[in-house]
Structure 1
């Protein structure tokens, strides 16, 4: 499965639960996660999407650590089961 297919499945699954999975673009800041998931109850999830077997780049790892230091978790999703796990929290 391609990364864009996983991204589309995430977006649709989050929407079905009443949330949003917004594309995260931050010009001038490398390594930001692909999507910000906004839950209906106000919680925020950062999601990096990868094709099966894909790994985080060093800049993505650094940004994940930065976000973790601010109290956030970056989900790395590369299959349908991980999408369902995240959506189960919404």
Structure 2
């Protein structure tokens, strides 16, 4: 399975859950996670997608640590099962209140 297949699965599952999985491109900030996932109820997560068995680069790990240090959830997924776990966690955790 390729990374793009996992990314497509993420988009489909997030849409089915009533949310969005925005592609994140941040010029001048290499290594940011691939997607920002937003679910109803003010739930958000930054998601780095990888092909099965692949690991984030040192630059990606540094960006993930920075984002997590700001109190934002950052997750790495390398399988459809990982995406399912991510969405399960997002749907059952408290999440931040939606912006009014």
Query: Which band: TM-score by shorter chain?
Result: over 0.9
Residues 7-42 of structure 1, C-alpha deviations (whole Å, 9 max, x = no match): 000000000000100000000101100000001111
Counterpart position of 1:72: 72
Residues 16-75 of structure 1, C-alpha deviations (whole Å, 9 max, x = no match): 000100000000101100000001111210000000011111110100110111001211
* Alignment RMSD (CA, Å): 0.8
TM-score computed with the length of structure 2 as normaliser: 0.86
Counterpart position of 1:30: 30
TM-score computed with the length of structure 1 as normaliser: 0.95
Structure-1 separation of matches of 2:56 and 2:73: 14
Write out the 4+ residue segments of structure 1 that deviate beyond 6 Å after TM superposition: none
* Aligned length, in residue pairs: 90
Gaps of 5+ in 1: none
